[in-house]
Structure 1
């Protein structure tokens, strides 16, 4: 039995890594892709996990498979496209560490995953199934992701969804809204950023936006607010859990660390228990995971350990 199975993109994040003597920017090859990042956080905390996705027949694909295995993630559901290269993303950071992306994905191997290639036995063996909207931008992966989420839900699995909205990957916001809404309709656990909440609810207030999202079906909604922490809502509780002050270097993967930490804590819970419990302690732990991730470069390489998160929570939290 796997605590968590995730479907979606796995790719190379080329992240800023200084400059040459001539001042030419350098980029470091980092493993990335939100669903893979979430699994890596879950695994680093001690959870069992498996990945469903697709890479190309190249060095990058082999490197990503090796990375998953090194983190104890089952790769039996990782397919290889014999023609399309592994997807690449270049990360650009501003002076505060916030990032933007340039994708090399037209075509990219992650988009080529088909429903027939999805190993349903991995979904059968999981407690929680997780996916995101980057897989919903184009077919055949769009159909594979939605069919897999529907299959998981119909087989009694908890379904988790993170829109992980990247405007550059969508034809327009209307198309993104249409397909993200389908993802939300399947979700039991939902995480959104401020930007994603605004896109889906036309609300910038997390108290109002989270209520609208909860009414669309999820049992628990989390709104990540960057340096201000996270807002959480279920039928039984809601509130803001503040973040801590740190020296932010790179925000890549912070939301995925948050989500991985949330799902790890919920791995043995039922939907009824999730809906009825006080979520604040779960969010406090997840905030610490996400915050610590911003103090290092990259996504998977920056993920903190359980001991680091606990130490940070106990000794270094200073609410904004």
Structure 2
């Protein structure tokens, strides 16, 4: 079996989104809510958006054998996604909650993990070898996937080599969120893996870990020097920068100007649109920028994409493309 998009170790979890009815969230206090929603979060939203662009989506991940795992798998199945590669940890649970105030422009994530929740190198390797081949293999978070304490001395670059060998295009989102730098061994393993990556999809913080603090165009140039075929860098919801190794030039386009309601899921939507829309990189970046912007304004909807509105808005962004020399 071949699928269009395989999301590997995508840190699947449910988001519990709470909209306070009072003055907002106060640390350490409960807030009354006028609405609550449990929805598949993390890379599940990446998969949802890619499916809206017509891609068939499958997953390789591990979830708890609990209510949260049930919700995640049920929602993905209801969207027509292939979930047989999502493994259950019997007797384990994971809680990962996003609390978003619709009256602000941010979200707070509260995550707890069982102390013995660790995926072994063998589990991940076996899962990669048993997964269906895919047109695009999307490693959603290198550091969430491969920087667990039990893996800090493992040859995790071998996992990326296996992914690259088995699938068509390899997309990697480093997605480093914890405070502090990654373990030195894993940072070295990531650098070793970059020549095997077709599209590297970092944000500016990820880029700083790999090549230091520079302006975004220079970060793209330095990242290309580490070996990926292409780099698409997101810069705080304002612009996206990209470059390709066979061209050497760096370009950028702005995001749409919208009334932001909630930024939760914007980066996930960007990734889903980037791999779901088209293989032409400038066009896919423009569509991804528009898709992410519409997500923050709660205007994307659940219908097939691209629709006429998204085509028009993406074309407008593409017309504002700049080259950075």
TM, length-normalised to structure 1: 0.81
Q: Using the alignment, how far apart are the partners of 1:144 and 1:126 within structure 2?
A: 23
Give the one of 162, 165, 178 matched to 2:173: 162
Measured at CA, do residues 281 and 178 of structure 1 come closer, stay the same or move farther in structure 2, by a change above 3 Å? same
The answer to whether the aligner puts 1:64 opposite 2:72 as a matched pair is yes
Larger radius of gyration between Structure 1 and Structure 2: 2
Measured at CA, do residues 201 and 42 of structure 1 come closer, stay the same or move farther in structure 2, by a change above 3 Å? same
Deviation at 1:190, TM superposition (A): 0.7
Match in the other structure for 1:18: 20
TM, length-normalised to structure 2: 0.80
Structure 1, unmatched stretches of 5+, are: 270-276
RMSD (Å), alpha carbons: 3.3
Match in the other structure for 2:37: 28
Match in the other structure for 1:274: none
Q: Using the alignment, how far apart are the partners of 1:158 and 1:67 within structure 2?
A: 27
Match in the other structure for 1:81: 89
User: Mapping of 1:255-294 within 5 angstroms?
Assistant: 255-266=267-278, 279-294=281-296
Give the one of 131, 134, 147 matched to 1:126: 134
Structure 2, unmatched stretches of 5+, are: 24-28
Deviation at 1:15, TM superposition (A): 2.5
Match in the other structure for 1:138: 148
Match in the other structure for 1:253: 265
Offset from partner CA, 1:75-103 (integer Å, 9 cap, x none): 11010000220341334569752334221
Residues 144-153 or 205-214, more deviating: 144-153
Offset from partner CA, 1:235-279 (integer Å, 9 cap, x none): 32421111111011111221121111111235xx5xxxxxxx6x3
Match in the other structure for 1:221: 231
The answer to whether the aligner puts 1:207 opposite 2:220 as a matched pair is no
Number of equivalent positions? 301
Question: SS of the counterpart of 2:83?
Answer: strand
The answer to whether the aligner puts 1:196 opposite 2:206 as a matched pair is yes
Match in the other structure for 1:273: none
